[in-house]
Chain A
Amino acid sequence: MIIATASGKGGTGKTLVATSLALALKDRYSLQLVDCDVEEPNAHIFMKPVITNSEAVSIPVPSIDEDKCTYCGKCAEVCAYNALAVINGHILTFPELCHGCGACGYLCPEKAITEAARIIGVVETGYADGIAFAQGKLAVGEAMAPPIIRRVKSLINDNGIFIIDVPPGTSCPVVESVQGSDFCLLVTEPTPFGLNDLALAVAMVRKLDIPCGVVLNRAGTGDSQIHDYCQKEGIPVLLTIPLDTEIARLYSRGITLVSGLPEWRHSFTRLFDQIEEIVRERSRNTER
């Protein structure tokens, strides 16, 4: 089973929930924690994994053999990203604009284009506290997160429980991370920002046809609109975490909620039981 923790709004507690859920379940299941927030991966801060393997992620960008090139301009014409330009017997490439689709090389009539690897980040794997761990890291200054997310997710197989820490927002990196999950936890906070972005995240998971439930973090501050919204939309609130300076201080030091306050362990195993029930119920319904 694959469980994604997403949020729309940043800083609501995705990583807090993903790491504590993983730790609470590790004795019961074979478990892997996968950090897909490749722009700002934070799960490692809490899990302190031993990294055993590190693999560069690259995208194939065009490399021109000028001895063969006739400057016909076909490559520039077919490139949808303006990553190639041919001007008066000169050819220029802009590797940072290239998405690595390979069209230019395939369509070059002179076979003058080969591909060179341009490194845009890294995927690291290891283990932490009995949990298999994987994370992607986008190199600073690079723009394209999705190829790294695809690579991290390729490490997911069919056995056991996978918990994915998703980046904030609702656009391509988020969709790439959440797609293919059996369940999506949406972590939010009881403020107008939290509500606005929760509604966007709900629209996103519904478009992907993935069942979801809410974790309400920092409860007790703000307003009660999240509950009203969830009731109206028929979305279950599966876990409530109060606004508590003790929890915030533990978080600031990189300590997971279930390690710092072990009484929370039970809440996270119950959270999982509820998720399992929803996923099971849904598969029964689709079988019918």
Chain B
Amino acid sequence: MKEVVILSGKGGTGKTSLVGSFAALAQSKVLVDCDVDAADLHLLLSPAVKETHEFWSGQVATIDEAKCTGCGLCQEVCRFEAINDFRVDPIACEGCGFCYQVCPAEAISMAECLSGHWLISDTRYGPLVHARLGIAQENSGKLVALVRQKARQIAGKEGLHYIISDGPPGIGCPVISSLTGANLALLVTEPTLSGMHDLLRVLGVCRHFGVPAMVCINKYDLNDDNSQQIERYCLDQGAEVVSRIPFDNVFTEALVRGQPVVAYSSGKVSQEIKSLWQRISHTLEGERR
């Protein structure tokens, strides 16, 4: 079983469009959407939901007004400014339970909260594990870990070879949760100063957690100088640029039709994505071209 995660640092560089295409190209795989707070992969795969599960996570404090003596100790110890006038702001509460531990009147209780849902679906390309984090909820990292674990279970049970995972933007908690223990990270960037800046940071995260990375430059012809600079930098860092995809509206056209690019068009972009997937699968098998 081999797992590849698609990351980018900067959002909107084309992660989900590529994963949708890999879904159509790869044999024997489970798909995972690890971008649990703005999940989009389902829009390309028209999933039929088979199972929906609740995701209970994180504790939130509640103060029982009848028992509260108004001593204010809870408010004093809380470092997250979550208690004001003896009321807990559930959005600010980090669930540490400090207030619950110290309340002399035992007026505070801690309860798990429903933070979202995770789903197993069938798609025309194979099983998809995805999730919906509740609006303004915490613990996206735990939900990411959970969907990855479910994907591994499905792959194990059904004897599927690849896990292809659509990662979130950024470099923080949900990214780390998507990355740790994966066999390979594909970093999708664009030749803009923002894209390059963010690539360097996410490349640093891959190195920090010891996951090998390869790079794809999307819209490479938008700025040739920047693209060349990315190539040089990646060479220095030991992360090879394995694909250069031209700026083409075909991504948007396919997306509007709810299809992966490779299913919608057989043009240049689709050819490039096909050889990119070949390259990824060879790398996952430990073969070098």
Q: Which residues of A contact B (CB under 8 A)?
A: 8-12, 15, 38-40, 42, 45, 78, 80-81, 99-103, 106-107, 138, 140-145, 167-175, 179, 191-193, 196-197, 200, 203-204, 207-208, 221-223, 245, 248-249, 251-254
Contacts and interface: CB of A to CB of B under 8 A. Distances in A.
Please list the 3 inter-chain residue pairs (A to B) with the smallest Cβ-Cβ separation, ordered nearest first: A10-B11, A11-B12, A101-B96
Interface stretch (B153-161, B231-239, B249-257): B249-257
Interface stretch (B23-31, B165-173, B277-285): B165-173
A280 B252 CA distance: 38
B43 interface: yes
B79 A141 contact: no
A175 B168 CA distance: 17
Interface string B19-44: 00000000000000001111010010
B193 A138 contact: no
B43 A140 contact: no
B75 interface: no
A99 to B, nearest CB: 6
Contacts of B12: 9-12, 168
6 contacts: A9-B11, A10-B38, A78-B97, A140-B205, A145-B170, A248-B222
Interface in B197-246: 197-198, 201, 204-205, 208-209, 222-223, 226
Most chain B CB within 10 A, of A15, A99, A252, is at A252
Given A141-B204, A196-B43, A191 B256 contact: yes
Given A138-B172, A192-B258, A80 B13 contact: no
Contacts of A222: 252, 255-256
B66 interface: no
A172 B35 CA distance: 14
Contacts of A100: 79
B123 interface: no
A138 B171 contact: yes
Contacts of B37: 169-171, 174, 200
Contacts, number: 185
A168 B169 contact: yes
Interface in B172-203: 172-176, 190-194, 197-198, 201
A38 B255 CA distance: 30
Contacts of A221: 249, 252
Given A9-B11, A45-B193, 5 more contacts: A103-B101, A107-B101, A140-B204, A168-B38, A192-B255
Given A40-B169, A192-B256, A11 B11 contact: yes
B126 interface: no
Contacts of A223: 256
Given A143-B172, A197-B38, A222-B256, A175 B136 contact: yes
Contact of B170 (A9, A39, A103, A200): A39
Contacts of B98: 78, 101-103, 106
Contact of A175 (B91, B170, B173): B91
Contacts of A45: 193-194, 197
A45 B200 CA distance: 14
B11 A171 contact: no
Contacts of B38: 8-10, 168-170, 196-197, 200
B95 A80 contact: yes
Most buried by A among B137, B172, B190, B192: B172
A263 B9 CA distance: 32
